[in-house]
Amino acid sequence: MVTIPSRRKRATIHDVAVEAGVSRGTVSRVVNDEPYVSASARIAIEAAIEKVGYVPNNAARSLVMQRSEAVGFIVHEPHSLFLDDPNIGGILLGANTVLSRADYQMVSLVIDSQRDTERVARYLSGGFVDGVVIVSARQEDPITRVIEKLRLPAAFVGHPPDLRQLPFVGIDNRASARAITERLMQTGRTRIGMIAAALDRDSGADRLAGFTDALGDRFDPALVARVPLYTFTDGALGMRALLERDPLIDGVFAASDAVAAGAMEALRHAGRTIPGDVGIVGFDDSSWALRTQPHLSTVHQPAFGLGERAAECVLGQLRGEEQPAGGILLETPIVWRDSA
């Protein structure tokens, strides 16, 4: 017969107090890093904590403080895109770096369905996180309304038009798209199209608006291929659609680097050279930009910095600090390489 050892009893503040020969109140002040404890008592308590193996009960502490010491990281994207998109990964790592320094846990929550929306709404309402960073929220997103109702400290990466007064960190997608399209036009391209992705959120809609601004009277709506997501597959589909509409197309602005990489693959299959026959530019300056041949001209999106600033914004709200009106916009320089 196998004997299963009994679970070791968790050491308590009482055990530490007995070992150190002090009151439980004195131990509590040391554990919570409070003043008014003598140096000798502090040394004795720290030694006792080490000896008895005491670990603070953060769950109990959270109930007393009404804080979970956790921040949610909500991504409103398909599961596959959450894993494959380097921008989401960069934003996540930036946020986690800031939260880690502040001793906050980060809880990742992916919304890919109505059921996910309902589940995450219940989770937020349960008080399991003190605040949230939200990526890829859509207009009229029900999670946004839940956050408003709960008055939960939050920072959005991006700026859906119905955010009202909720804080956000982002970039000027419209101005950046206009700038790189104008740079593409300066190479002498005369038939320029766009593969416009993710038009149900502010980033996609604003990039299309910037492209339209740049072309002005030369804009041809027939040379806009609309695709659902910022993916390689959608880029290839969009490029094939543009070639069918106008075989003489000689310039393309792809709404993301992944979309551009897919478009370049479709161009190669069609026997077109890059940049000889078709010049192509992307958006993000992600790992995709250096995986393409030739390397991709693109807009640098500071994904890691966006995550950092969003997390700092949430922590600032938790400390009661006033946040900048109108949100925070980070710079997006053009990175010009060989694809155009």
pLDDT tens string 25-67 = 888 888 877 888 888 888 898 898 888 888 765 544 544 445 6
Residue 158 sits at the vertex; the CA angle it makes with 119 and 282, to the nearest 5 degrees, is 115
Torsion of CA 165, 167, 169, 175, to 10 degrees: 10
- The separation between the first and the last C-alpha atoms of the chain, rounded to the nearest angstrom, is 74
Distance separating alpha carbons of residues 235 and 253, to the nearest angstrom = 11
Distance separating alpha carbons of residues 272 and 283, to the nearest angstrom = 21
Among the residue ranges 82-96, 185-199, 287-301, the one predicted with the least confidence is: 82-96
pLDDT of the residue at 51: 85
Question: pLDDT for 194-250, tens place per residue?
Answer: 999 999 889 999 999 999 999 999 999 999 999 999 999 999 999 999 999 999 999
Confidence (pTM) = 0.79
Among the residue ranges 143-157, 183-197, 280-294, the one predicted with the least confidence is: 143-157
Residue 70 three-state SS: strand
Q: What integer is the mean pLDDT of 93-122?
A: 94
Q: How many CA atoms lie within 13 A of 271 on its CB side?
A: 2
pLDDT of the residue at 64: 46
pLDDT of the residue at 59: 45
pLDDT of the residue at 216: 96
